[in-house]
Amino acid sequence: MPRTVFAADLGGTKLATALLTTKGKFLARKTETVDKSSTMAPVEQICRMAREVSGRTKIHAAGVAVPGLVRRNRTVWAPNLPGWERVPLENLLRKRLQATVQVESDRNAAVLGETWQGAARGKSDVVVLVVGTGIGAGILSGGEVLRGAHELSGCAGWMVVSEANGDEVRRHGSLEAFACGPALVRAAVSSIEAGLGGKLASLPTKELTAEAIARLAREHDPLARQIFQRMGKLLGLAVANLISLFDPEVVIVSGGMIAAADLFFETLTETALARCQPLAAQQVQIKLSRLGNGANLLGAARLALTAGRRGQSSTINRHS
């Protein structure tokens, strides 16, 4: 059995790669902006970075997390990558890397990573709610990744927790319209347009980012704080639903937005525990991810390492 594994986390914007030991220790790590110049460009980029992070080490096994859907026939649909309708990524990489390759959706990789090395270590009923530019959930139930009939499970960004409706809701889903990074900016713009902007209104439009709103909130700007509180409440209602439906041992909140967790996580937790099924509330833990961007890489690595033992390990998915 090889002592190292190559992992890649292909996002809509960044491509993170790493060489890891079989125990999940990072030996080398490299991140670049995704090359979107053609459909094949990200594939070649993964291969080049694999050579770069592995150096003289021969790659025997590789795992790749992708920002979309991995079909049962192993083709990938990734709406944020040009031309990625049906990319046979696993086959393409297998030939190029001369290694066994596993491809998995990023949210499933996240839950496998958290279960292997993160805040859900050793657990078998786990939900990872990823909140960043978008919102999705990776779900482990009874030790198995929950996939759904068409690999579309865990579309938590579409969860309805409020009757509010509108264009954004129809385009991105109810929760994602109000509770991810871009939603914070939209909420700020609405407030400014309504003449409520205060300090926010003094920011040039192009500087109106989630980070800038967070900075003002930490400076006790009431409107900026309120925008984060609102996000915390809506995410809390979503986590309540995840607890009532999945009865997990632990819910892990991860993704880019947790850089601002100090501004919404307490509200999220209080709301979730107050509104979910009460017996489940007594037993569930709600935690922030400690792995950061590493969760997807670890999950992809874990998949690659356990691929040969499918059917033995309880966290291995059923691919047909």
Enumerate binding residues for a copy of itself (CB under 8 A): 69, 124-125, 137, 139, 141-142, 144, 146-156, 158-163, 169-170, 173-174, 237, 240-242, 244-249, 274-277, 279-280, 283, 318
- Least Å distance between CB 70 and a copy of itself? 13
- Write down the least CB distance from residue 289 to a copy of itself, Å: 19
257 and 210 Cβ atoms separated by less than 8 Å: yes
Q: Which is nearer to a copy of itself, 55 or 142 (CB)?
A: 142
Alpha-carbon Rg for the chain in angstroms: 20
Contacts of 194 (CB under 8 A, 6+ apart): none
Of how many residues is the chain composed?
320
Residue 39 vs 165, nearer CB to a copy of itself: 165
Contacts within 8 Å (CB) and 24+ apart, 71-78: 71/151, 72/151, 72/319, 72/320, 74/103, 74/319, 76/103, 78/10, 78/12
Distance of closest approach, residue 273 Cβ to a copy of itself, in angstroms: 12
Nearest CB to a copy of itself, comparing residues 26 and 77 = 77
Cβ-based nearer residue to a copy of itself, 100 or 174: 174
Min CB(278)–a copy of itself separation in Å: 8
Report in angstroms how near the CB of residue 47 gets to a copy of itself at its nearest.
Answer: 30
For 75, counting Cβ atoms within 10 Å of its Cβ (0-12 exposed, 13-18 middle, 19+ buried), the class is middle
CA neighbor of 49 nearest in space, from 20, 18, 80: 18
In the complex with a copy of itself, the residue whose CB is nearer, 43 or 76, is: 76
Task: Find the helix or strand (DSSP H, E) in which 79 lies.
Answer: none
Least Å from the CB of residue 163 to a copy of itself: 5
Q: Are 278 and 88 in contact (CB under 8 A)?
A: no
Complex with a copy of itself: residue 51 or 170, whichever CB lies closer: 170
188 by DSSP, 3-state: which?
Answer: helix
